[in-house]
């Protein structure tokens, strides 16, 4: 085609020509967008600095090393009111991690069950799971937390009327009290055997796979591994005469003393977060399994592969690829939602360093930055782990 074939364009100024060029336009828009974002953050930071300057406040983390002067009801490490704010922060971090990790585990278990129930051909199970999921995920999680906490605190009895479980455990509205084990020397044998069992399992699974690849011989891997991890240590435990001493909680004055206690605040937060997130996980699991073409199952059956092995070797590996990425978001949500703990007085990060410490020292900027950084770190760690897992289970093409 020759130049003359194109109708003569009216001469435009160079700016509009630049704008009409697709490449240049996209660069211009990106530069503009970036400048806006930069200007926004620049303004925010400058504004904060200006205002802190105006009231004469500096930014310093020295307060972290001063005594916190407050008590915390649930602490996984040694802590008292003479400990530093830094230690209070660690207590908060551990409490957050505790509820996040136990929440993720429980939510995953319940979620997978719900997903499977939703696919069940049994009308009752199917509809029950359906109603549960629709109810739970359409009510804000904060209400679930308050509801569970309210139920525990209002319905369970006071310590003096505690529900007695075999004279060892006690259910009260101040918490669930149970015996605390303390190890006697021989117990180390059990621990050593347990660790050895895990090491053996790791080795044995590879060995069994090698044997199967080479000879087609199939070991009952699951049962052998269970025996190694659980059976042998349990046997050792019995043979050495159960080398554990139990400290039984006792009612003294207002409350039970001794033993271990799980506070209602932890239980409420843990259950509420798990039950709530499980509803979402259930739908993700259902979607993942449904997404694997039924033809694959039929093909597996046609090859004479049993129902269980079809599920384990054909359906689940493919479903996981669909399930894991959205599952990661749910884990992140659960972790972040745990910051609602303050509503019922569970002492997590927000309640300790982002709450009482902030208030007693007046270091809003520093404390909120620390809290922000901590949540960011947790979320990135969970993402990194789940990405690694996703990488591991992705389709291996041969």
Distance of alpha carbon 50 from alpha carbon 31, whole angstroms:
27
Residue 54 interacts with other proteins (CB under 8 A)? yes
From 128-136, 200-208, 211-219, 340-348, span contacting other proteins (CB under 8 A): 340-348
Distance of alpha carbon 97 from alpha carbon 379, whole angstroms:
11
Give the closest residue to 81 by CA, choosing from 96, 66, 95, 63: 66
Residue 70 interacts with other proteins (CB under 8 A)? yes
User: With CB under 8 A, what is the number of residues at the site for other proteins?
Assistant: 46
For other proteins, which residue of 164, 212, 359, 377 counts as binding (CB under 8 A)? 359
For other proteins, which residue of 140, 150, 220, 325 counts as binding (CB under 8 A)? 150
Is the CB of residue 274 less than 8 Å from the CB of residue 283?
no
Tell the smallest beta-carbon distance from residue 136 to other proteins (Å).
Answer: 24
Burial 268-306 (b: 16+ CB within 10 A, else e): bbbbbbbbbbbbbbbbbbbebbeebeeeebeebeeeebe
Tell the smallest beta-carbon distance from residue 69 to other proteins (Å).
Answer: 5
Give the closest residue to 70 by CA, choosing from 82, 58, 57: 82
Q: Which of 141/367 has CB closer to other proteins?
A: 367
Distance of alpha carbon 215 from alpha carbon 58, whole angstroms:
72
Phi, psi of 180, rounded to the nearest 5 degrees: -105, 125
State which of positions 274-293 bind other proteins (CB under 8 A). Answer: none
From 14-22, 126-134, 252-260, 381-389, span contacting other proteins (CB under 8 A): 252-260
Tell the smallest beta-carbon distance from residue 94 to other proteins (Å).
Answer: 17
Residue 30 interacts with other proteins (CB under 8 A)? no
Phi, psi of 84, rounded to the nearest 5 degrees: -80, 165
Q: Which of 53/298 has CB closer to other proteins?
A: 53
Residue 35 interacts with other proteins (CB under 8 A)? no
Distance of alpha carbon 36 from alpha carbon 59, whole angstroms:
27
Residues near other proteins (CB under 8 A): 42, 45-46, 49-51, 53-57, 69-73, 80-82, 150, 153-154, 158, 173-174, 252-255, 257, 264-265, 342-345, 347, 351, 355-356, 358-362, 364
């Amino acid at each position: 085609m020759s130049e003359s074939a194109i109708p003569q364009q009216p001469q435009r100024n160079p700016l509009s020509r630049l704008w009409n060029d697709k490449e240049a336009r996209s660069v211009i828009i990106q530069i503009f967008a970036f400048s806006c974002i930069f200007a926004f953050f620049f303004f925010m930071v400058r504004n904060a600095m200006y205002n802190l300057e105006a009231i004469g406040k500096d930014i310093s983390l020295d307060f972290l090393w001063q005594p916190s002067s407050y008590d915390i009801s649930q602490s996984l490490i040694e802590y008292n009111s003479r400990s530093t704010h830094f230690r209070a922060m660690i207590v908060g971090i551990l409490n957050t991690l505790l509820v996040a990790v136990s929440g993720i585990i429980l939510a995953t278990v319940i979620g997978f069950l719900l997903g499977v129930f939703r696919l069940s051909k049994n009308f009752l199970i199917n509809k029950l799971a359906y109603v549960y999921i629709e109810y739970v995920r359409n009510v804000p999680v904060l209400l679930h937390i308050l509801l569970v906490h309210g139920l525990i605190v209002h319905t369970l009895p006071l310590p003096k009327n505690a529900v007695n479980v075999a004279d060892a455990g006690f259910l009260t509205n101040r918490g669930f009290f149970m015996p605390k084990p303390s190890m006697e020397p021989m117990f180390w044998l059990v621990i050593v055997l347990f660790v050895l069992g895990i090491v053996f399992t790791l080795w044995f699974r590879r060995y069994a796979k090698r044997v199967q690849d080479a000879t087609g011989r199939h070991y009952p891997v699951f049962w052998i591994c269970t025996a190694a991890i659980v059976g042998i240590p349990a046997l050792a435990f019995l043979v050495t005469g159960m080398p554990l001493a139990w400290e039984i909680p006792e009612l003294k004055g207002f409350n039970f003393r001794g033993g271990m206690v799980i506070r209602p605040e932890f239980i409420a937060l843990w259950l509420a977060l798990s039950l709530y997130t499980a509803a979402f996980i259930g739908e993700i699991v259902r979607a993942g399994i449904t997404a694997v073409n039924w033809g694959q199952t039929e093909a597996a059956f046609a090859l004479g592969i049993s129902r269980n092995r079809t599920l384990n070797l054909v359906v689940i590996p493919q479903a996981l690829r669909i399930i894991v990425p959205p599952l990661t978001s749910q884990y992140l949500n659960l972790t972040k939602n745990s910051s609602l703990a303050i509503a019922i007085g569970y002492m997590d990060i927000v309640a300790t360093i982002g709450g009482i410490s902030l208030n007693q020292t007046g270091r809003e900027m520093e404390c909120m930055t620390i809290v922000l950084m901590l949540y960011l770190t947790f979320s990135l760690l969970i993402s990194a782990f789940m990405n690694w897992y996703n990488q591991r289970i992705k389709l291996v093409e041969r």
